[in-house]
Amino acid sequence: MGLFSRSSKSADRTPLAGVDVVLADLDGVVYAGPGALPHAVESLNRVAESRKVGYITNNAARTDASVAQHLTELGLSVRADEVVTSPQAAMRLLSTIVPAPANLLIVGGEGLVVEAEKAGYTVTRSAEDGPDAVVQGFAPDVAWTDLAEAAFALKGPEDEGGIPWIATNSDWTIPRERGVAPGNGTLVSAVHTAVGRLATVAGKPEVPIFEEALARFGASQPLFIGDRLDTDIMGASRAGMSSVLVLTGIDRPKHVLAAPEGSRPTYIVSDLRELHEPYPQIHRADGAVTVNGATVRVVGAEVQILAEGSAQIDLLRAGAAAVWESGTPIFVMNVPEKLYADPFHRP
């Protein structure tokens, strides 16, 4: 599902056209740290005037109720059941492997513990309690001792009788108000290095969290908004959803140009105001791609800007389409710096 993949777009068609449910990621889309990102709240409130809006987060540290309260404090109107979390996806997945009331070693915070107990599981923090599975999610206070307990519990390979290991998500980084910080994927990798095993992931980009959202909201034509290609956009693509990449979070223009097949968004926007604006059509002529006056051509390994246009976002859209359609790996291309200039807001 790639950029401008719908050939029937009219000149005034917005990314919201035909959509019945908008599903939004949180970190890097709605907020970075405790504060809202520019234009996010008012744009999503406007969406909610005509459509259902739900929120999907890989953040396992908080409960759905606390996330809903935070969003409401930012100016949105959100109920707990409108928030789908990676701990909920983890419990959905775990129930098919180790049914409750099994004993789970939890590495993570309140959000994961609450969902485990709601699902009927017993929670422990020690490998000495003989857990039936390890479930690992991010929390700011996860310590070396927590990772060590997980490693002790996972010392045996699963195919040799070892217990299952579920990770809520594998995000390498988390956007914060002060910058980018290590995410759950980094902590999962630390345990992996110790035990030589791979975790099964429940959250984005895996499908269980999207299946939970689709079922909960009864969506038939959903649109997913995210800031990461490797989790948000890939996950939406795997779930068969159209997607929006918003440049207010982790991934930047250079990442967009290099996006592999399966991680390419349907739409690229500077911020969420552009959900409500006509999305430009793509025009192809003489081997070149034009979007709103910005024209890019790929000749061999050369990426050429024929016209910059009046907006950097349109130049990026044209460049992405041209690079993706060329079939040439970007690492062998000569790409003008102007094509991946980054004037967009980021945490």
> Would you please indicate which residues are annotated as catalytic (active-site) residues?
25, 27
DSSP 200-244: EE-STTSSHHHHHHHHHHT-SSEEEEES-IIIIIHHHHHTT-EEE
Residues with Cβ within 8 Å of 145's Cβ and at least 6 positions away in sequence, in order, are none
The two structure tokens encoding residue 5: 């993949």
Give the span between the Cα atoms of 244 and 207, in whole angstroms: 17
How distant, in Å, are the alpha carbons of 25, 88, 118, 234, 305 from that of 203?
12, 9, 18, 12, 38
Give the span between the Cα atoms of 166 and 106, in whole angstroms: 10
Nearest 10 degrees: Cα torsion 196, 197, 201, 204 = 30
* Residue 163 DSSP class: P
Residues with Cβ within 8 Å of 131's Cβ and at least 6 positions away in sequence, in order, are 103, 104, 105, 124, 153, 163
CB 309 within 8 A of CB 294: yes
Return the SS3 of 8.
coil
**Number of Cβ within a 10 Å radius of residue 32:** 26
The two structure tokens encoding residue 223: 């649109």
Q: Cα Rg for the chain, rounded, in angstroms?
A: 21
Return the SS3 of 154.
coil
How distant, in Å, are the alpha carbons of 132, 164, 248, 294, 344 from that of 158?
11, 6, 40, 53, 45
Going by their DSSP bridges, the two strands 288-291 and 294-299 should be labelled as antiparallel
